[in-house]
Structure 1
């Protein structure tokens, strides 16, 4: 997921573009290239176009103090393993002229180091949340892809050596949230806070009982939302592994439903995803029954993100997203409170 906790002012856009311009010359084939901002979030992402042959690449300029170099190296290591061992198309990190995947850029009068990574460019368009029938087909395919990623990470010995976040309850809704506190979200009244706290308490209790067995908890993408998928024909490609870490496998489904959890067609998407997932990986009745827990955990997590970030997505969602969460929270409490 994306965007720093302070507004990205004009000075930041200018500075990061200058970093990007410097970074591309650390990679081969970019002497006549231009950079165009695609997205800004925890990182700044640029489209790099070679003006001679029109070939495209993607450059990510990482925000200082979000991920250390070792964490970024771990992310890239997994991406390379997925490319080699899983039939899923992902953007491949490109080596710089010095043979390294991460290039470090220093700016004058700036104490920070800026880590940059270049990736291959993938064709495709993000799924359209307004096209329900297409989404159902795509979610069944996404279920298959997610299952195969989970099968890979559960048996990939290198996973245990990676330095990545642990997306457990404490890091999402607990006392040490990595993004921010949902209690500080936009439009949180005392009444809403009490309701959401009930949800959080139930989620915590149920996850403690659910456990972290190796068949349920491991290395996950953690941000398989629509914006991080590319559709080209019948193919679904997966991008943006920046949030990958160790968490419950079913959290990947909660993340896939980011920002649309309140839509009436979501139960159909869940069923499609489960159908696809079960083609490649077992999913017990107990696990299926726990899916609403992961959806609600992600929903509250996004309320914290919206309240602590300032970008086009958060501006568009704002307080309305909090209000739309109330019916979901009431239903969850009704269905799961013991």
Structure 2
């Protein structure tokens, strides 16, 4: 008898729970700690708590075959460099008892290998998309932080270019063989909607070909600065989850910050606030600014592919409605950009 979606999801979670319990043995600091699942998405993330010592850590179990060990090592190296050379507060990796950041774990009943990592715990709460005025203020702060991240990336371009990380460009996001999945296979697709989104995809490609991948526009980025990966602590914003960091357009980081809320009425105000913060640190030309909708639409189509190809709490909540809500965004984007030229 085949499992339904909920049963299959629970079976995956149960397997990750077993891996996490085994990974715990590789870190002495986790002795006497209890672990609790925080989030299951691309990976499974756990809160490890030692009540006696009043210590907390974050344990991450990576999905098999998503990143190689060398790719995760490059992620760790970047996180450490950000901590050492920028004012951005990040969750730092912790070495295991064998001196390695990445612990490989296998279960007795399968050949799959899971890469597990431990990180410092940061205090804070994710920004609330329902608190508009707060979010606008936070986006000015986020713009400043993102510019600092990009400055760090540009200054160390030669060093980072040797890192083993994914490239997030048109081909890997919306191309024929994308890293995540095809937007064409998203939920709620109709022939009419596919035609509409295909025109959007073609327009994105045309504009990005013209925009180019110069060193001040394309480099090592976080790649997933959505609200869930930010922690607000008073006036400070901390950045977590570098799992999708890779080589991409710097402005794509803004697109990812608007993940799942691209259709909200307050998005123009968020963009204005982000630009104000960004320009405190780094110059952004008018040409770059006018291309922001392209990166927002590319991310939106990317997320449609993600929702259609993943089974977790977020994708269940979004469903086909997320695709349907994209129609007016797509039509507006084509109206503004389909037949215009990049200056």
Shorter-normalised TM-score: what interval? over 0.9
Residues in 1 aligned to 2:133 and 2:95: alpha-carbon distance in whole angstroms: 40
More divergent stretch after superposition (127-136 vs 25-34): 25-34
Q: Secondary structure at the match of 1:29?
A: helix
Matched, 1:40 2:44: no
* TM-score under structure 1 length normalisation: 0.97
Partner in structure 2 of residue 60 of structure 1: 60
Deviation readout 1:146-174 (Å, 9 max, x if unpaired): 00100001111321110001001001111
Mean CA deviation greater in 5-14 or 36-45: 5-14
Change (3 A) 1:318 1:10: closer
Cα pair 1:251 1:295 within 8 Å, conserved? yes
Report the alpha carbon displacement of residue 52 of structure 1 after superposing the two structures with TM: 1.5
After superposition, where does 1:259-338 map in structure 2 within 5 Å? 259-338=260-339
Conservation of the 8 A alpha-carbon contact between 1:6 and 1:309: no
Is the CA contact 1:7–1:310 (under 8 Å) kept in the aligned structure 2?
no
CA-CA distance at 1:6 after TM superposition: 10
**What CA distance in whole angstroms lies between the structure 1 residues aligned with 2:315 and 2:31?**
36
2:186 counterpart of 1:185: yes
**Structure 2, unaligned runs of 5 or more:** none
**Structure 2 counterpart of 1:23:** 23
The answer to which of 42-51 and 248-257 deviates more is 42-51
Q: Which moved more, 1:51-60 or 1:11-20?
A: 11-20
Residues of 2 paired with 1:141 and 1:279: CA distance? 10
CA contact (8 A) 2:9 2:312 kept: no
Q: What is the SS of the residue equivalent to 1:36?
A: strand
Q: Per the alignment, do residues 7 and 170 of structure 1 end up closer, same or farther by CA in structure 2, a change over 3 Å counting?
A: farther
**Given that residues 230 and 238 in structure 2 are in contact (C-alpha distance below 8 angstroms), is that contact kept between their aligned partners in structure 1?**
yes
> Equivalent residue for 1:198?
199
How big is each residue's C-alpha offset from its partner over 1:204-248, in whole Å with a ceiling of 9 and x where there is no partner?
Answer: 000000000000000000100000000000000000000000000
> How much does 1:110 deviate?
1.1
Which residue number in structure 1 is paired with residue 83 of structure 2? Answer: 83
For residue 92 of structure 1, what is the aligned residue in structure 2?
92
Pairwise CA RMSD of aligned residues? 1.3
Residues 96 and 103 in structure 1, CA contact (< 8 A), matched pair in contact too: yes
Aligned ranges for residues 221-232 of structure 1 at < 5 Å?
221-232=222-233
Instruction: Tell me the distance in 1 between the aligned counterparts of 2:61 and 2:100.
Output: 15
Trace 1:244-255 onto structure 2 (pairs within 5 A).
244-255=245-256
- CA displacement at 1:11 relative to structure 2: 2.8
User: Corresponding residue for 1:169?
Assistant: 170
Q: Is the 8 A contact 2:226 2:259 kept in 1?
A: yes
User: What residue number does 1:111 align with?
Assistant: 111
Task: Provide, for residues 80-105 of structure 1, a one-character-per-residue CA deviation record: whole Å limited to 9, x for no partner.
Answer: 10010110110000011111111111
User: 1:106 & 1:266 partners in 2: Cα distance?
Assistant: 44
Give me the whole-angstrom Cα distance separating, in 2, the residues matched to 1:222 and 1:170: 15
Equivalents in 2 of 1:150, 1:176: separation in Å? 28
Q: Could you say what secondary structure the match of 1:147 adopts?
A: helix
Would the aligned equivalents of 2:9 and 2:311 in 1 still touch at CA under 8 Å? Answer: no
SS of 1:161's equivalent?
A: coil
Deviation at 1:8, TM superposition (A): 4.9
User: What is the aligned residue count?
Assistant: 334
Inter-partner Cα distance in structure 1 for 2:286 and 2:312: 39
- SS at the partner of 1:39? strand
Q: Deviations over 1:186-207 (max 9, x none)?
A: 1110111111011011000000
Q: 11-20 or 263-272, which moves further after superposition? A: 11-20
Distance in structure 1 (CA, Å) of the matches to 2:212 and 2:61: 36
Q: Using the alignment, how far apart are the partners of 1:9 and 1:142 within structure 2? A: 34
| Structure 2 CA distance for aligned equivalents of residues 8 and 249 of structure 1 | 37
Moved more, 259-268 or 6-15: 6-15
Structure 2 length-normalised TM: 0.95
